[in-house]
Structures are given as C-alpha cells and as structure tokens.
Amino acid sequence: MGYYNSNDKKTGKRGYFASSFTGLIAGALLVGVISPGVTDAEPETAVGATTTESVSGVQTTSTLVTSDVTEIVEQTNDAVVGVSNLQMAQQNPFSAPTATDNEAQEAGAGSGVIYKKDGDTAYIVTNNHVVEGAEDVMVTLSDGTELDAEVLGTDVWTDLAVLKVPSKSIEIVAEFGDSSVLKAGEPVIAIGNPLGLQFSGSVTTGVISGTERLIPIDVNQDGTEDWQSEVLQTDAAINPGNSGGALINAKGQLIGINSMKIAQAAVEGIGLAIPINTAIPIIADLETEGAVERPSMGVAILDLAEVPAQYRTGQLGLPAEVEGGIVVQSVVEGSGAATAGMEAYDVIVELDGKPVKSILELRQYLYNETEVGDTLEVKAYRGGELMSFELELTESM
C-alpha cells in the first residue's frame, strides 16, 4: 500500500486502475468481501486437551480444536478494525434542542486494515465510500478501544482511503501478499464487521472464484459508465459493513481489500475485492501526498456517441466511417494539449497508435499506460482532416 512489488515505478503506477472502487455498479451494493478457506489440501486440525464432565447424568466432552484457519485468524484478526463515519445529523427546526444536537452521529460503519506502524502513528487502509462525507472518523480496535482517526487521503476511482491513528494501542499489522499469483479455487479468509460493530471481527471462508474481473463503475452516478475496475471475485458471503476489510490468503497475508458485491435477486455468492497489488501504489500516494497523481491532457471532452448525427457530418465535418471517438469541448490554457495545438471540436480517435472510441477507453489508457511527464501521440480529426499531435501529460488537478 517499500510499497512496490517491483523496482519499476512505472509498472507499479500502471497497475493503479486495474481495480477501483467508489463504485456503484448497476444492481451492486458496496460492501466488504468476505473470503474462503485455508490450504489446497484438507484443513489440518489439531486436537488439544479433552475433558469430560457429567451434568445431571449426561456426559459432555470439551475439546480444544485448532486448524489452519483458526491460527491464521488469531494471527491477523487484530489488524482488522471498525471504521465509523460520523456526520452531523439533520435537525428538525421544530423540535426542541437536545444535548447531542451539536455532536456528530454515526452515519455508517465499515472495516479497515492496519497495514503499517511507524513510531507514534499507525496507518489504516479502507474504502473511500466508507469515509465519504464524514466530518469525523472513529476507528474501533478488536479489543473495543476507540481512536479518533485522521483521513490522510481518498481516491474515488479506486475506492480507497488511508487513515492514521495513534499507535500506542496497536501491536499487529497486516502483511502484504501478492495478488498477481492468485488462482481460481485458491482458499481465502475474509475478516470484517458485517452489519456494523456488533458483529466485529466476523470471519468467513471461501475461494477465489476468478481474477481480473472487470466491473463497470459509475463514479458520479449520472447513469454513464465512467470506469471499469479490475477486481478479485470470491464466493464468500458479503454484507454491508465488510467494506474495507481484509481478504487473506492461506499464509495469513493480505491479498485484497473487500469492496463490493453483486446484489441481485438471481445472484448469489459473487463478492469482489480490490487486489492488493493494485492498492499498494494508491495507498503509498494517499499516505504521503494525500492524493493520487494521474496524467492529464488538459482538455474537456465529450463522447462522440452523445453528439447528434447531423452535427458529426456538419459542424465536426467527420467522415461517415468514423463511428467512435472523443470530442474536445475546450482546451485548458497552458496545458499539454494547448501547447501541442489542439482545439475545441477536434475529435480524438487514437492514442499512441491505439484506437480509442470513448471517454472510458481514453481514461483507461491514460491512467493505466501513461504517467505525468510522458509524451502522448494523439490523432484527431479537425474539419474532416486527420491530424497528429504530440503533447506532454501534466498532473490532473
């Protein structure tokens, strides 16, 4: 969330959006992933001391049983915390004032994972949608200790957020695993707080149902797909409140951040998590910079699909064979696009030799394949003529 699994910084950055998550997808609830089992073989079980007692003539046997799952949970459970989103309640202007009118109330609760402890500070990763809109954030440790948390940064595209709290009461932190080596059928364990803190530390098990699943995300909830998140799929049960919790492999390593589920009447057992390899560079930026650095062309854009047909051949002068592209609405003064000579009503159809037919495709390419400072080759139609531009990408504001 030394944060990169590779020394190649560019590769780490380009993994950013192979997952995201503020996402509301059609028919999906954003809730944390709960996940599966232990090893590829039968779970190992150890039987401890056995005692037998007689109660009212009936003998009962008490046996201490441990397994791979129980051992992993015991080692990692304290790294999973409750995260409460506190907001000021809307007041009824006609009701009598109360002592709590000026106090923030819990508007929602989710989960989080302690991933680092550095001196007097501990760092927690959770989902953006867990802390979105919060005026205050409270973290509850596994032993019930409550800590005021500071939100260091949030990222709407990957649905991640980083918090910091005093580290005095914290001993256990999660160990990052490698989500790139996960295979379908691999057992995993999920820990979180379904339905709120009254079920804190709940454990579920299951398997990885699939990797590299693409889920459409409507970030601004305008009914248009803004992004496609690459996520891990698990068959574990997921409930509201698990968002931001831990998805752990059979070695007790954190390999995913529980984020959402498919919630439809005909669907059962499709839970989704942000792969940890995708989350690590995002976490690093949020912790140190408070935001994620992403490249920008310096243009306001519109999908060609939203432009009526008569304007495509008229005002834009596009050849009839051009069916997809991105219309430049305006160019930011001093930006890479402005310096390169791009203008309003240019229609972008290609980036670095790769066709792009929508804003979604343009955004996926920019955020996954380029970095701030890169030179981008753009091909766009202007008045029916295909033109080429070379522009330097700057940091998005």
The residues annotated as belonging to the active site are 129, 159, 243
SS (H, E, C) the chain: CCCCCCCCHHHHHHCCCCCCCCCCCCCEECCCCCCCCCCCCCCCEEEEEEEEEEECCEEEEEEEEEEHHHHHHHHHHHHEEEEEEEEECCCCCCCCCCCCCCCEEEEEEEEEEEEEEECCEEEEEECHHHHCCCCEEEEECCCCCEEEEEEEEEECCCCEEEEEEECCCCCCCCCECCHHHCCCCCEEEEEECCCCHHHCCEEEEEEEEEEEEEEEECCCCCCCCCEEEEEEEECCCCCCCCCCCEEECCCCCEEEEEEEEECCCCCCCCEEEEEHHHHHHHHHHHHHHCCCCCEECCEEEEEHHHCCHHHHHCCCCCCCCCCCCEEEEEECCCCHHHHHCCCCCCEEEEECCEECCCHHHHHHHHHHHCCCCCEEEEEEEECCEEEEEEEECEECC
Which residue is it, tokens 């305006």?
A: 330
Short-list 237, 217, 236, CA closest to 227: 217
Which residue is it, tokens 């030799």?
A: 353
Kindly tell me the burial class for residue 65, based on how many C-beta atoms sit within 10 Å of its own C-beta (0-12, 13-18, 19 or more): exposed
What CA–CA distance (Å, rounded) separates 358 from 184?
Answer: 32
Buried b (16+ CB within 10 A) or exposed e, 298-336: bbebebbeebeeeebeeebebeeebeebbbbeebeeebb
